[in-house]
A and B are shown apart, each in its own frame.
Chain A
């Protein structure tokens, strides 16, 4: 006989008031294994879903419209995913607002492995957010709490929801809703500590097409060596690693001109696995206006200061606290 069955037999011999209390206790006891089992099973599907999203997202074919919002900005964007003659998936964006440029790209799925074991997807495909969850789920659980949330319909499609709650003030939280069969990200929200939504997009309509393209196997990116050339040396030179917010690590480095300008900069990417931040370090070669202070631009935080003869600028979708902490972890020789 089970423990709860034995307990029920015992209750029958108790006086009335005690019976009720004891019965409630037994009921709770008997439910405990189910509660524990549920807790266990909710962890695995979250990781499975995210893995599926990372691995299979690029092969999904669909037509859809989504709305992108931050602050008082609203954009409606059509997305079209179809194969080209080479069997690659081409994703095209067209804006309902004709002032904006349309974009298209071939989706690929390649990764580089860092020395710390992280797998980075470069030029990763599709809505491959969250991008580096594939082998860092346990690491991320130190800094985020992952929970299943109530399923809901998004664009008339049943979705499975995941809450990824930041556990400190150096990163934002997320809520994601996936179509579970295809692992297509249907709705995304970026939230601050007070659960204020600071950025979101959601599909308002979507039509899926059967894909004849097999899920793209992740391939080691042949340009990995180039990607990480100089990372370690530059890190030692410019960053106080112990001063970075917990969980953030430098993951890429380059030296080159800043897009749209002639200014040379050294650029680090610093990430905790979900959130990523760029650090630009430039020599000040001529007098001019420079960013000093903190600026918010939609979900992005920009923090800058002059350090010796260098301009240091940090930018990323992180809270001000995170941007400033990273800014202050920068040193110059």
Chain B
């Protein structure tokens, strides 16, 4: 599909998102999404905007140095998430961290800017984003995980790197800084990512209903194996 006329195609995209287009337009749209990265990127941006999720973020981003912006905001995020985790461990109550406006902002930055955490899988630990502004620590943690390239940070920490309190499951005596140091916003460790997919597969296969929804999800994950 020719995307030389952004205005026209914004309209077409909008119709597509609402699934109100003709069959011919649909076929063209699907073809364009599969074959044209720029068009796909435009579609994703519009989808986000259509969902009323990232309108403000998107407009702000156009005027902002994304990396700098993330780095300046990231310090506030771990505390929020760490507190949420501790609250859960101690009291059984936790705020959904994805509700955090900062989290949404970071996600907006990542999606719109192409700061891809992984090429095809959206892995994200929800507790810290320190690798953006703490390269030495990231490198150290990555180095602790065998089999991971030095320039590939680890998604999930090996047990030895976790605070004892968390390993024991009690959460007692665990400070915010403990968790802050342990959890990283990082890419998937291949071995652990494989484990995650195995769990996903078994979850979808054995869940109480074998529905279209998990069928699609399972298929979606297979491509990343």
Contact = CB atoms under 8 A, between A and B. Distances in A.
Contacts of A260: 194, 197-198, 201
A278 B18 contact: no
B94 A320 contact: yes
Contact of A280 (B156, B199, B220, B222): B199
Interface string B145-166: 1000000000111110010001
Contact of B22 (A75, A126, A156, A307): A156
Contacts of B202: 258-259, 265, 267, 278, 280
A101 B220 CA distance: 10
Contact of B215 (A103, A132, A186, A299): A103
Contact of A93 (B53, B127, B219): B219
B95 interface: yes
A54 to B, nearest CB: 10
A289 B202 CA distance: 19
B122 A95 contact: no
A66 B117 CA distance: 27
Interface residues of B, number: 84
Contacts of B209: 120-122, 124, 128-129, 131-132, 276
Interface string A293-332: 1111111101011111000010110011100110010000
Interface stretch (A5-13, A44-52, A199-207, A212-220): A199-207
Nearest to B35: A96
Nearest to B189: A289
Contact of B206 (A185, A188, A267): A267
Contacts of B213: 127, 129, 188, 201
Given A71-B111, A77-B216, A320 B206 contact: no
Contact of A291 (B22, B104, B126, B192): B192
B208 A204 contact: no
Contact of A298 (B167, B206, B220): B220
B104 A204 contact: no
Q: Interface of chain A, helix or strand or loop or mixed?
A: strand
Contacts of B201: 259-260
Given A77-B216, A77-B219, A258-B202, A321 B88 contact: yes
Nearest to B34: A96
Contacts of B30: 65, 67, 76, 96, 204
B189 A305 contact: no
Interface in B25-76: 26-27, 29-30, 33-34, 40, 43-44, 47, 51-53
B190 to A, nearest CB: 10
B200 interface: yes
A148 to B, nearest CB: 18
A153 B20 contact: yes
Given A297-B122, A297-B123, A302 B199 contact: yes
A42 interface: no
Contacts of A69: 47
Contacts of B19: 153-155, 186-187, 202-204
Which of A124, A202, A260, A320 is the most central at the interface, judged by chain B CB atoms within 10 Å of its CB? A320
Given A131-B211, A254-B206, 11 more contacts: A93-B219, A169-B96, A205-B23, A260-B194, A277-B203, A278-B206, A289-B192, A294-B127, A295-B123, A296-B125, A316-B203
17 contacts: A73-B220, A77-B216, A97-B34, A124-B211, A169-B99, A188-B213, A196-B51, A197-B53, A201-B212, A202-B19, A205-B23, A267-B206, A289-B158, A296-B122, A320-B97, A328-B89, A328-B92
